[in-house]
Structure 1
Amino acid sequence: MQRAHSSLSPARRWTIMASALALALSLSILAEARAAGAGTPAAPQAAAAEGYVPDVGQDGKDVIWVPTPQTLVDKMLDMAQVTPQDRLMDLGSGDGRTVITAAQRGLTAKGIEYNPDLVALSRSNAAKAGMSRRATFEVADLFETDLSQADVITMFLLSTINEKLRPKLLELPPGTRIVSNTFRMGDWEPDASETVTEACQTYCNALLWVVPAKVDGRWQVGGRTLQLEQQYQMLSGKLGSSEISDARMDGRTISFTADGVRYTGEVNGTTIQGSAAGKGEWSARRI
């Protein structure tokens, strides 16, 4: 049996082949563009905020959008003991309320949000509040964002997302404060937690962590060795032959009890300087 196109002229056959090739190439380019677009947030449009009202529960890249009640925003900032000298970063900043509230307290604050419409809305809200200079927003993936310049990090994410962020958070400078709405970070227990009841029906818990200095290992304290084992902010170990107790880190501050004496000190890299109750000053160096 002859093939149907065998009687086509060479010119006609070439035209058909060229059209098919062009179609295949176009489809390939379209597929690549869609794949690239799926991995990169679009730039916010200037008019995106006009008339845009986000839906509570709408889908997002990592979590759905649910706004943090203003009373809890205030509590989270209070727990972090923010000052105008602090730089705050809000991960998954939504409509911008946490960033704007921080800016109203004098902080330099930045929101990281993947949804370009929410970023445009946040910028509009900041402008209306007169906070555009101190409250800024960026369309970005929170997992790819440099967090190192933040003194305070706020977030309302799922526990699974928090746990994925945990290694990055623990590498931040000691003393960095992290405050989460409701959701925890696995076995890294919070340093403090509070619940608000005013104007808040759901997701009303604020959890605070302070990034601890890393002190795990051996330290020389006079003629004795301080051996420390560290699990996040909690410590255990020995000073000489004596077990230490009630031992923990609070940012750069170390405290523990040994032989009935309470020791406190400030960690500065490879040295510790502090005081021992009733015993005067003490110091240690890493060995």
Structure 2
Amino acid sequence: MDKLENPTVDLWLCSLSDLRDDVGSKSHLKQTLTADEIAKVERYRMPSSQVQALYVRNYLRKVLSRYSDLMPEAWRFEYGEKGKPSLVAEQQLMTGLNFNISHSKEHLLIAVCQRVGKPVQLGVDIEHARSSTNIDSIMKHYFSDKELADLFELSKELQRERFFDLWALKESYIKATGKGLATSLRSFSFDFSNLTKQVVELGSSDAKSGLYREIRLHSGIGLNLDSAQQDDSSTDWQCCLGRLDEQYRFAVTLGGNLLPMQIEMRTFSSSHLFTSM
């Protein structure tokens, strides 16, 4: 019998600021993509959005090649009913790679979990805590009664912090299941009563100045599903919440009958996209 191991989720933090958008750089980045991907990139109306999409797709391919002999241009993707990307079945079976991505303003976060022969459900979300967001009108529509009750016990300042924590967690869960907003955000809730804290280093010197060098992680977050979520109730779900700095936080949700997950964090700069492996 194979020894059980804790699944490791690698989080790759990639910069989306100060992107090179000259003709030569864009041409170089397009060489890695399929014709279908290039068509999707060019559907964006804003030139800046097209450039960002080019970088996002290239970052993903380059990161995946850290786990395999496949070159960045060799990866092929398929999309679920609600648009969740994954590797085509042949490559997923061969590499055991599961991934998910999220970006907000200047940061892209790529989550990767390699479990050969053991399928998992993986979702990640990164959120920018915007001071302009009217949280009162939003949370009453999208948070469960229990989450609202817990929120109202907090001070106004802490309510705003908890709001964005919950939003990141909810996004990571519905991305892990692949069902997206077809799942009511009120149909599940998170419990913070048994939090455990740990600190992981943000590896590499490429980290943008101002980010925490040591990332605070909170695990032990309970996920409670209502009866409408029966398909997911037999899955063991693990949720983790972290902070990059005072403005950005992220959440990871991992589904599968697994031991507690471990989180590793790395950074990846845009200069890596213009060098050989």
Shorter-chain TM-score range: under 0.3
Which structure is larger by alpha-carbon Rg, 1 or 2?
1
- Structure with greater contact order relative to length (CA < 8 Å, sep ≥ 6): 2
